Amino acid sequence: MRVQAADPELDALRSALAERGVGAARLAFVLGSGLGPFAERLQDATAIPYAELAGMPQSRVPGHEGRLVLGTLSGVPVVVQQGRVHLYEGWSAREVTRCVRALAELGVPGLVLTNAAGGLVPEWEIPSLMRITDHVNLQGRPPLLRGEAGLANPYRNDLGDAMDLAAADAGVELRHGTYLGLLGPTYETPAEVRMAQYVGASAVGMSTVAEAQVAASGGMRVAAVSAITNPAAGISKTPLNHAEVVAAGRELAARFTALLEAFVPRAVAALD
């Protein structure tokens, strides 16, 4: 049996989302650094600043717009979280996953997580897109409460297959790989990158893993995509900086948007 801890802020956020009809969404998207333009593709869109949603944490990281967008894609009701908060900003794992918990409790069946990540495979073109097939969580902040059942792998094959078919539909190259989540906020050292490569990771970043675990535990089906925006330290020939990550995310925007738009109808078929 799941042990529910009292969480007034989660209750407030769930109520705020319910009042705005978020529970009708078939798919939820969380957009990472520089990937916010996807939300502009929604039809009949309504944007709600996080500041207007009781209990919603607000990011202070550039490239995270900080608003929730409701609308439709291919006639499918969706909700887009345009920006997220991170552990490295000082938020707890409970706070980082609060919106995902609220979405799960409202019965939204599918979740697509996205992020900007450093590439660990020297042969891969930069920038590129990678479907996350598994992850390694080295963030040191357990996202699940005692009594919450976690899945060995939160990323569902059915939504993953739908993502692959969508990539073929859209003519977008989509690589596969394991994502390694670290705490941040600093970029990884070359030694840490070698460690990540040793354990089989193809990309490294500072988000996603907690949200994936909590969503899967809450009954959502999860897919995830990394925008490989830069080679990781030790692979890159130049120092890393966040502005370049955001810029690379924007460079990928057309491919990324085409992929997710093609994914929506296939995802709904998989969810049904």
104: Cβ–Cβ under 8 A, 6 or more apart, which residues?
214, 215, 218, 219, 220
Active-site residue, from 12, 24, 88, 261: 88
Catalytic status, residue 130: no
33 is catalytic: yes
Given 40, 54, 137, 242, the catalytic residue: 242
| Contact between 206 and 89 (Cβ < 8 Å) | no
The answer to whether the beta carbons of residues 37 and 250 sit under 8 Å apart is yes
Query: Active site includes 226?
Result: no
Contact 183, 139 (CB under 8 A): yes
The predicted-structure confidence for 98-107, as pLDDT tens digits, reads as follows 999 999 999 9
CA 237 to chain centre: 28
Q: What's the confidence (pLDDT) of residue 5? A: 60
64 is catalytic: yes
Q: Domain 8-271 in CATH: superfamily?
A: Nucleoside phosphorylase domain (3.40.50.1580)
* Catalytic choice (50, 65, 86, 192): 86
More confident residue, 177 or 186: 177
Q: Which of 130, 167, 170, 206 is catalytic?
A: 206
Q: For residue 189, give the amino acid letter.
A: T
Catalytic residue among 33, 115, 202, 217: 33
- CA–CA separation, 233 and 197 (whole Å): 12
pTM of the model: 0.92
Known active-site residue 176: no
> Which of 9, 40, 89, 173 is an active site residue?
89
Annotate the chain with three-state secondary structure.
CCCCCCCHHHHHHHHHHHHCCHHHCCEEEEECCCCHHHHHHCEEEEEEEHHHCCCCCCCCCCCCCCEEEEEEECCEEEEEEECCCCHHHCCCHHHHCHHHHHHHHCCCCEEEEEEEEEECCCCCCCCEEEEEEEEEECCCCCCCCCCCCCCCCCECHHHHHHHHHHHHHHCCCEEEEEEEECCCCCCCCHHHHHHHHHCCCCEEECCCHHHHHHHHHCCCEEEEEEEEEEECECCECCCCCHHHHHHHHHHCHHHHHHHHHHHHHHHHHHHC
pLDDT above 70 coverage of the chain, percent: 90
238 pLDDT more than 80: no
Q: Which of 241, 104, 113, 103 is nearest to 179 (CA)?
A: 113
| 116 belongs to the catalytic site | yes
* Residue 261 a catalytic site member: no
**Active-site residue, 86 included:** yes
Active-site annotation holder among 230, 232, 233, 262:
230
Residue 2 pLDDT exceeds 50: no
Mean confidence (pLDDT) of the chain = 90
Question: 28, 116, 210, 232: which one is catalytic?
Answer: 116
Strands 128-137, 174-181: parallel, antiparallel or unpaired by DSSP?
parallel
pLDDT surpassing 90 at residue 114? yes
- Does the structure show a pLDDT above 60 at 4? no
pLDDT band at 190 (very low <50, low <70, confident <90, very high): confident
Longest dimension (CA), the chain: 51
Catalytic residue, chosen from 64, 203, 224, 267, is 64
Q: Which of 207, 248, 262, 270 is catalytic?
A: 207
Give the tokens for residue 136.
């390694």
- pLDDT greater at residue 142 or residue 176: 176
The pLDDT of residue 3: 46
